[in-house]
Amino acid sequence: MKPQSRSSLKGQALDFLVSKTYPDADAIVAVSTDVQTDVESTVGVSADKTNVILNPVDIETINRQKAKSLDEPWFDDDDVPVVLGVGRLNEQKQFRTLVSAVANVSADRDCRLVVLGSGPKRKELVSLAEQLDIENIVRLPGFVENPYVYMAEADVFALPSAWEGCPNVLLEALACGTPVVATDCPGGSAEILADGKYGLLTPVGDVAKMSDAIHNALDHQIDESVLVDRASEFSTTRVVDRYEELIFE
């Protein structure tokens, strides 16, 4: 996870509150091991106070939403795979890595890229697609109410982030049965994917490795039921059970 900026008033206020309240807590919950380590080192709390419980994923809602129809012709062509990205178009998500990776993939096979979300990097991504001469295979529709129907129809879901806390979007993609490629960035991505068992991990900012991973994911897809079962381990019910165990132990 990216360190909190200490220069802003909000950051300073948060630092103050954390330093005053966390040491007196009976237990502290972190959403990933990296967040746990960060809390222990920056706040100075003992390791026996911290616990890792990843964020829950609402399986029932995803199942309802992913079953709806998608009015998007690109997803109707079984001969041309679609790579999907979802997230805010900002520095953290590093979608320029994904755009460049898809440009490499497109040199070897037909493919398309759809990135859902809005943000300050949109113009930069459009410009990059034009520079790489792939503007005809890249779409940035902006924010959509139901990303799950896109996930369910995509051939690969990719998350090229520079850092994360606990990326729920990976859990959501797995719940849709979609093969996943993600950067092995600070945060919970590697934990969710069990260090590569449930999806391919690549170094942050490494376009060539992400290109290879997309090729690999397209050619050797993990069984959908395996991915869905992995996501179910983080269902709301199971995560609530973990909180109850922590509170009442």
Kindly list the structural domains of the chain, giving each domain's residue range(s) and its CATH number in brackets, ordered by start. Answer: 9-52 (no CATH), 59-232 (3.40.50.2000)
- Indicate the average pLDDT of the chain: 93
Average pLDDT over residues 12-28: 83
Residue 4 has pLDDT above 80, yes or no: no
pLDDT of residue 2: 55
pLDDT tens-digit readout, 141-159: 999 999 999 999 999 999 9
Q: Residue 3: is its pLDDT beyond 50?
A: no
pLDDT by residue (tens digit) across 103-143? Answer: 999 999 999 999 999 999 999 999 999 999 999 999 999 99
pLDDT at 77 over 60: yes
**Residue 34 above 80 pLDDT?**
yes
Instruction: Tell me the two tokens of residue 70.
Output: 């998608």
Helices (H), the chain: 9-21, 33-43, 59-66, 95-106, 122-131, 147-153, 168-175, 189-192, 207-219, 224-232, 236-248
Residue 1 has pLDDT above 60, yes or no: no
Q: What is the DSSP string of 92-130?
A: TT-HHHHHHHHHHHHTTS--EEEEE---TTHHHHHHHHH
pLDDT at residue 61 tops 60:
yes
How confident is the model at residue 46, as a pLDDT? 81
Residues whose CB falls within 8 Å of the CB of residue 45, separated by 6 or more in sequence, listed in order: 22, 23, 25, 28, 39
Q: How far is the CA of 47 from the CAs of 10, 27, 60, 67, in angstroms?
A: 27, 10, 35, 43
**Percentage of residues of the chain with pLDDT beyond 70:** 97
* Mean pLDDT of the 36-59 span: 89
pLDDT at residue 166 greater than cutoff 90: yes
Does residue 231 have a pLDDT over 90?
A: yes
Q: What is the pLDDT of residue 108?
A: 97
**Per-residue model confidence (pLDDT) at position 12:** 78
- pLDDT band, very low/low/confident/very high, at 7 (cuts 50, 70, 90): low
Rg (C-alpha) for the chain, rounded Å, is 19
Smallest CA-to-CA distance from 37 within 92, 28, 6 is with: 28
